[in-house]
């Protein structure tokens, strides 16, 4: 496993745990962090033993935002490159053929909220706080927040959060559907890992197909999205995992999936 300057990476069974490790600056997203996260995600593609990804932050924050000191000096051309890197990272997370979970332990603001939104699920500590406060800096979210937030919570609520720059607590984030679950701080990692281990025990080709179809179908007319589902469902009947899963069910034994 490669080593990184800004990330700490460990495995718990099939779960790859990536911790953004810059607690002295509340894990602010710099170009180096974005580049290292992208490299770490690329590495997972070549590691079939990794069945799921958990993303979290060290110390008091998940990610408290982007590196404002660095952004303050940017010209439009540099800002466009930086935003492109953030969007590419979000796209990698959304297209990773494994489940991804953001375990938000503290502040998830600006780019941190956007990073969490790019994951399939968000579990939050009771101490977590979320927000897109970019308007306070004279800009808008640049890593996908305007689009992923409205798809998560609806257009009116997303507009309100982005226009006011309001920072909300975990219980409110749960109420509006921004997060899936809120737990005590000491239970966050254990609960997150347990969910990912459950998913990793399922057919990996089925999980990958689910993720692909649901992401792609979200922006399509319903009839076209259902066509995606129909074709993906049928294609899985050519796999050894489908044969094993159904044979195991009929034999009343646990399935042993191979991802083939």
* Catalytic residue positions, numbered: 114, 134
Which residues, other chains included, contact 178 with Cβ-Cβ below 8 Å and sequence gap of 6+? 122, 130, 149, 152, 153, 168
- CA dist 123 and 8 (Å) reads 20
What's the DSSP call for residue 110? Answer: T
> 9 - beta bridge partners?
18
DSSP state letters, 20-89: E--GGGTT-B-HHHHHHHHHHHHHHTT-TT--EEEEEESTTEEE--B-HHHHTT--HHHHHHHHHHHHHH
62 and 106 in contact (C-beta within 8 Å)? yes
């Amino acid at each position: 496993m490669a080593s990184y300057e800004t990330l700490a990476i460990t495995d718990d069974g099939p779960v790859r745990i990536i911790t953004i490790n810059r607690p002295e600056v509340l894990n602010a997203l710099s170009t180096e962090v974005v580049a290292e996260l992208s490299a770490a995600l690329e590495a997972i593609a070549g590691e079939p033993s990794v069945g799921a990804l958990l993303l979290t932050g060290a110390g008091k924050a998940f990610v408290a935002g982007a590196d404002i000191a660095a952004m303050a000096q940017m010209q439009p051309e540099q800002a466009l490159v930086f935003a492109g890197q953030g969007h590419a990272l979000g796209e990698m997370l959304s297209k990773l053929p494994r489940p991804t979970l953001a375990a938000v332990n503290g502040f998830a603001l600006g780019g941190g909220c956007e990073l969490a939104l790019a994951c399939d699920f968000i579990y939050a500590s009771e101490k977590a706080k979320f927000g897109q406060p970019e308007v306070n800096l004279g800009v808008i979210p640049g890593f996908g927040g305007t689009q992923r937030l409205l798809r998560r919570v609806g257009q009116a609520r997303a507009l309100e959060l982005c226009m006011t720059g309001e920072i909300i607590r975990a219980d409110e984030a749960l109420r509006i559907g921004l997060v899936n679950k809120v737990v005590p701080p000491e239970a966050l990692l254990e609960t997150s890992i347990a969910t990912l281990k459950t998913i990793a025990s399922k057919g990996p080709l089925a999980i990958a197909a689910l993720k692909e179809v649901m992401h792609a179908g979200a922006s399509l007319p319903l009839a076209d999205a259902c066509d995606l589902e129909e074709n993906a469902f049928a294609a899985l009947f050519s796999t050894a995992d489908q044969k094993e899963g159904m044979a195991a069910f009929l034999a009343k034994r646990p399935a042993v999936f191979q991802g083939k």
